[in-house]
Amino acid sequence: MDFNLSEDHEILSNTLRRFLSDNTSVEGRNESAFDAPYHSPDLWMALCELGIAGAFVSEDQGGFGGSAQDIAVIFEELGGALCVEPALGTLMAARLLAEAGREDIVEQLIAGEARAALAVYEPELACALTPMATVAAEQGGGWVLTGRKSAIYGAPGARYLVVAAKTGAGIGLFLLEDPQIIAAAMADGGGIGELVLDNTPAERLSDIAGPELEQALDLGRIALCAEAVGAMSSLVDMTVDYLNQRKQFGKALSSFQALQHRVVDMQMELEQCRSILISAVAHYGTPEAPRHVSMAKNLVGRAGRKIAEDSIQLHGGIGMTWEYPGTHFAKRLVMIDHQLGDQSDHLMRIMSGTAA
Amino acid sequence: MDLEFSADELAFRVSVRAFLTENLPEDIAGKVRASKELTREDYLRWQAILNAQGWLAATWEQEYGGPGWNAVQRHIFAEECALSGAPRMPPFGLAMLGPVLIKYGTEEQKQTLLPRILEGTDWWCQGFSEPGAGSDLASLKARAERDGDDYIVNGQKTWTTLGQYANKIFCLVRTSATAKPQGGISFLLVDLDTPGVEMRPIRLIDGGHEVNEVFFTDARVPVSNLVGEENQGWAIAKYLLTHERTNIAGVGFSMMDMARYRKLAAGITRDGRPLAEHPVFAARAAEIETDLEALRITNLRMLAAAQGGSAGGMGSSILKLKGTQVRQEIQDLYRSALGPHAAPLASDLSENELSVPVEAARAAPAYFLNRKQSIFGGSNEIQRNIVAKEMFRE
Ligand SMILES: Cc1cc2nc3c(=O)[nH]c(=O)nc-3n(C[C@H](O)[C@H](O)[C@H](O)COP(=O)(O)OP(=O)(O)OC[C@H]3O[C@@H](n4cnc5c(N)ncnc54)[C@H](O)[C@@H]3O)c2cc1C
């Protein structure tokens, strides 16, 4: 048994951590996170130069990484620094494009020359792939798509969209270039989009992509859980620091046992999340993966809310202000639960026993 | 044991409901239901309607323009208002300063200031908290030094709710250094346009502007603006904070929020099933409703005790604790119900192009903002300390 990171992962994690701490701040993040394009293109380019998009796909598909552990290491660092760059959409789209043999596009993604996002969920679809309403039909030798896609993370500014739609054979994947989207900021910052399709011509990537799609989504879920673990860890540290420094009734808040116990509970939840994430990473690629990924997403959803709420509470009024960086970590933790299926959806998947 | 209201009380409820149906402007109720910010004008419009009816200052004696209600009537009124989507009127003038002036004010202060509160000529805000004095309010540092017929005020107040709408602020200031910090505090009324008073906005977690900080630099305030005696401020503040506790549990607000959740859940489909039939959501909603029903009865028990003159003690702390827990839980349920649609921020709520229901577009920001419920008004930890002290005293 060995729970240490490999030397390569240690280096990856340290490099990224140093880069993010030298080059980013929560204030800087917030300046770009709420207005189009909802991130900093310069920072994204710098991250790509550092190789993070390359680490999303395997060597035989043109990248230089691609394991679930690579993804977890990267996203934990992104979460720890509250980085709002569109890594999630790029990750899932890059995986599916690589599967479909579109190395020409994957190359652009790795180099940071273009971005891509994945359009799978719909107004009435939050975590499952059925019943999908968006349909693909053959028309004049090509394909057209009709329906509505929502919750497309990283869509604003993406040149490519990978779109899931129902075909006669199952669920297929299609490619849209320079899509027209409805763009918005997320409540915690970052870009999200919706897409209205009305006989919109698209290029077919594959007819039956159900399993690949589920795998890409599960990897996205692992990424979100790792991001949450990074954010939790930062937020617990900030809470400890604040309680040490803030004085009321003539002594540091950290001297009140009632508050110490609350922080201990936060730390306990964080340790549990780390563990369930390790389990999800270890099972990725096995038939057991969906169940373990759902366990991770469920636990991270519950613990994320608790840590977010307790950290706000223990900071008092300061924890409610926009100016305080911890506030934004707390918001991120709560909103992660809304992405790629929430704690209830994943609880259902665990209970159904199939989770596939 | 009788859980029912009396025939008179029920008739009162019917009359309140009829009044609200007739008079509450739909545009204002719509904003309240969608958790949108209300403008100063929205508040004042509703205030004028209530004032014309004589129902504005629920806790004031009749001779000062109050309706002369007992605790049960006040409870029914507050509950009906919440259920109908009426705005929660800012408490600072009506529920806080008014009763303080009635008990501690000079005749002159009562005659001039109380009518101005009712008419909306004065909008008061509350200057108690300071950066260094939150839970430990008695450690406050803002000071007022006597100079002839004036006090010279220096220091800083913070978290001043809706100060941007206000023209006046009531403050706790230090007027003498005593061994016990509570001893040297006075209750002072200050015009916000006094030279040397400056207000700056604080942006909150949801991006909105609801609170402010207020700076005092050699601001000259007439001694006649003192309420009560010099150094009597702490007793006055305690009276103010414990005065009106019947609505502290916010049962009416929770009932309205729960109804709003039910409506949303009935209209949303997730992964092939109506959200209302989603087992996890259905179970959670049922549990919260159970808590809420128990809270409703707890609230009535405290109310009956108050009517019978045996109120007090830990009761109001327990109502505040459980009341905020239930309210915050419902906010969480409502946000969660939206699933992925809680994430995007609709820029124009009335006609957003996103597939989030217009009335629910502020679910996530409103959930975040409502974390304040367990922080202000004596934080939930401080409430627990109060209850513990009572339970474990020798
Ligand atoms: C949105 C909002 C609006 C407000 N409006 C007003 C207003 O209009 N006017 C006004 O004067 N004030 C207002 N307040 C201030 C509010 O009353 C204070 O925030 C509150 O008293 C807590 O003080 P603090 O923020 O300094 O937190 P702190 O006192 O620093 O507390 C931080 C944490 O420590 C806990 N804690 C503190 N002491 C103890 C202890 N002895 N034992 C256990 N735990 C403890 C607290 O519960 C909290 O969790 C407002 C606050 C907010 C957030």
Write the pLDDT tens digit of every residue in B129-148: 999 999 999 999 999 999 99
Query: How far is residue A280's CA from residue A297's CA, in Å, rounded to a whole number?
Result: 9
Residue A97 Ramachandran class (φ > 0 left, ψ -120 to 50 alpha, else beta): alpha
pLDDT for residue B348: 60
Interface of B with A in 334-353 (CB under 8 A): 335-336, 338-347, 353
DSSP string of A72-138, one letter each residue: HHHHHHHHHTT--SSHHHHHHHHHHHHHTT-HHHHHHHHHTSS-EEEE--BTTBSS---S---EEEE
Identify the residue whose C-alpha is closest to ligand 1 atom 33. Answer: A314
Give ranges for CATH 2.40.110.10 in chain B.
124-231
Q: Which member of B344, B379, B384 has the closest CB to residue A192?
A: B344
Q: What is the per-residue pLDDT across B198-243, written as a single tens digit (0 to 9) for each? A: 999 999 999 999 999 999 999 999 999 999 999 999 999 999 987 6
A305 CB neighbours in chain B (<8 A) are 332
pLDDT for residue B394: 60
- What is the whole-number distance in angstroms between the Cα of residue A196 and the centre of ligand 1? 46
Which carries the bigger pLDDT value, residue A1 or residue A97? A97
Domain range annotation of chain A:
7-115, 117-208, 212-352
What are the phi and psi torsion angles at A143 (to 5°)? -125, 145
Q: Which residue of A has its CA nearest to B138?
A: A249
Top-level CATH class of A7-115? mainly alpha
Contact A126 B339 (CB under 8 A): yes
pLDDT for residue B243: 67
- Region A179-187 average pLDDT: 95
Q: What is the per-residue pLDDT across A195-241, written as a single tens digit (0 to 9) for each? A: 999 999 999 999 888 899 999 999 999 999 999 999 999 999 999 99
Give ranges for CATH 1.20.140.10 in chain B.
249-391
Query: How far is residue A215's CA from residue A314's CA, in Å, rounded to a whole number?
Result: 39
The residues with which B197 forms a beta bridge, in sequence order, are B216
pLDDT for residue B310: 66
- What is the whole-number distance in angstroms between the Cα of residue B380 and the centre of ligand 1? 9
Over 80: is that where the pLDDT of B122 sits?
Answer: yes
Q: Which of A261-275, B5-19, B121-135, B302-316 has the lowest mean pLDDT?
A: B302-316
Does the active-site annotation cover B244?
yes
- Region B14-21 average pLDDT: 98
Amino acid at B245: R
- Region B284-288 average pLDDT: 98
Q: Which two tokens stand for residue A33?
A: 């996170």
Over 60: is that where the pLDDT of B268 sits?
Answer: yes
Domain B249-391, classified CATH 1.20.140.10, yes or no? yes
Query: How far is residue B352's CA from residue A119's CA, in Å, rounded to a whole number?
Result: 20
Level-2 CATH architecture, domain B124-231: Beta Barrel (2.40)
Residue B227 Ramachandran class (φ > 0 left, ψ -120 to 50 alpha, else beta): beta
B368 interfaces chain A, CB cutoff of 8 Å: yes
A352 DSSP assignment: H
B218 DSSP assignment: E
pLDDT for residue A356: 45
Domain A212-352, classified CATH 3.30.365.10, yes or no? no
Q: Are B99 and B240 in contact (CB under 8 A)?
A: yes
- Give the domain A117-208 fold: Butyryl-CoA Dehydrogenase, subunit A; domain 2 (2.40.110)
Q: How far is CA A226 from the centre of its chain?
A: 8
Contact B135 A249 (CB under 8 A): yes
